[in-house]
């Protein structure tokens, strides 16, 4: 369980009328989880975890605050991070070690829990080797959803760490300055979880979970809009401004390739 920004949201915007949210559906079985194998658990040396999602064979999208050590308040060495694609009941469809991390250049881990911090709480993790398992299909990303639009979330959490859960229907109840306020059910461990729009033929990631909060007495999830931030992160990656491991791949003790196991 990584550090979590807990924010009390007051008077951010009048909430939109939300459709009836669906409950959480466990994705423990192969059939239930088949469409969501590119969502995985980000393990940090066995000391905690977040949720992440594959957006290309080598790139995992998550929240920036997942990549900081709560006690030292410094960036986590990528050598400590492993992505477990489709992790379920002790097995993953693919295991990959992180090669480097790219954090939004305007993200400030030590700043107050503000809308500005949430807005930039986005990061990419580049893996040492691509995941080319035909059952793990990277997700496409999409433009930010409108206020009142239905979205969904797939996440791990402290009380469901061994299999993800899907909430297929929750709503964008407010938008302000690049921050989405959503009625989605999230908890510790869901940081970095992908928020999906189901408009079109395939689900597209439109945000990642940054924090849980309270809006007009109801629990909500906060996330950043993707378009501009993702473009900035990809430029940072292309121009070599990511953070690589201080120790190198050979000293991590981890398999940088795959271990394919059948759940």
Return the CATH number at 175.
Answer: 2.40.10.10
Please state whether 40 falls in left (phi above 0), alpha (psi between -120 and 50) or beta.
beta
Q: How far is residue 228's CA from residue 217's CA, in Å, rounded to a whole number?
A: 31
pLDDT higher than threshold 80 for residue 8? no
Task: Answer positive or negative: Cα dihedral of 11, 61, 78, 41.
Answer: positive
Is 254 domain-assigned?
no
Beta bridge partners of 101: 125, 243
pLDDT at 212 over 80: yes
pLDDT of residue 90: 95
**Does residue 29 fall inside a structural domain?**
yes
Instruction: Work out the mean pLDDT of the chain and round it to a whole number.
Output: 87
Into how many domains does the chain fold?
A: 1
Residue 36 or 189, more confident: 36
Most confident of 30-39, 94-103, 104-113, 184-193: 94-103
- Identify whether 171 is part of a domain: yes
Average pLDDT over residues 111-129: 91
Q: Considering the chain, what percentage of its residues have pLDDT values greater than 70? A: 86
Answer yes or no: is 259 within a domain: no
Side-chain half-sphere CA neighbours of 180 within 13 A: 32
What residues make up the domain containing 194? 5-244
User: Is residue 217 in some structural domain?
Assistant: yes
Residues 6+ away with beta carbon under 8 Å from 222: 5, 7, 9, 118, 179, 180, 181, 182, 209, 210, 211, 212, 213
pLDDT of 168 over the 70 cut: yes
pLDDT higher than 70, residue 63: yes
Q: Specify the length of the chain in residues.
A: 263
Q: In the structure, what pLDDT confidence band is assigned to residue 256 with cuts at 50, 70 and 90?
A: low
pLDDT at position 207 is 96
Question: Is 150 a domain residue?
Answer: yes
Q: Report yes or no on 251 lying in a domain.
A: no
| Burial (0-12, 13-18, 19+ Cβ within 10 Å), 186 | buried
> pTM for the complete prediction?
0.89
pLDDT range class, residue 70, cuts 50, 70, 90:
confident
Rounded mean pLDDT, 168-192: 92
Q: Is 132 domain-assigned?
A: yes
Mean pLDDT of 186-205: 93
């Amino acid at each position: 369980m990584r550090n979590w920004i807990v924010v009390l949201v007051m008077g951010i915007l009048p909430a939109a009328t939300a459709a009836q949210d669906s409950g959480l559906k466990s994705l423990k079985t192969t059939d239930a989880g088949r469409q969501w194998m590119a969502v995985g658990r980000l393990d940090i040396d066995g000391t905690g975890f977040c949720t992440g999602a594959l957006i290309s064979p080598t790139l995992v999208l998550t929240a920036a605050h997942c990549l900081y050590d709560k006690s030292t308040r410094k960036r986590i060495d990528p050598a400590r991070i492993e992505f477990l694609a489709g992790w379920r009941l002790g097995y993953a469809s693919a295991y990959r070690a992180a090669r480097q991390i790219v954090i939004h250049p305007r993200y400030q881990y030590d700043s107050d829990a503000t809308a500005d911090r949430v807005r930039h709480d986005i990061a990419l993790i580049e893996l040492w080797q691509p995941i080319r398992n035909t059952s793990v299909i990277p997700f496409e990303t999409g433009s930010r959803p409108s206020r009142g639009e239905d979205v969904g979330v797939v996440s791990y959490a402290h009380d469901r760490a061994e299999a993800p859960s899907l909430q297929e229907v929750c709503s964008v109840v407010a938008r302000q300055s690049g921050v989405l306020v959503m009625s989605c059910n999230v908890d510790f461990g869901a940081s970095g979880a992908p928020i999906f729009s189901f408009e079109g033929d395939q689900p597209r990631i439109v945000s990642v979970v940054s924090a849980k909060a309270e809006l007009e007495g109801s629990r909500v999830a906060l996330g950043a809009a993707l378009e501009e931030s993702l473009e900035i992160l990809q430029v940072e990656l292309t121009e070599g401004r990511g953070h690589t491991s201080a120790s190198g791949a050979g000293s991590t003790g981890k398999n940088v390739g795959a271990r394919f196991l059948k759940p």
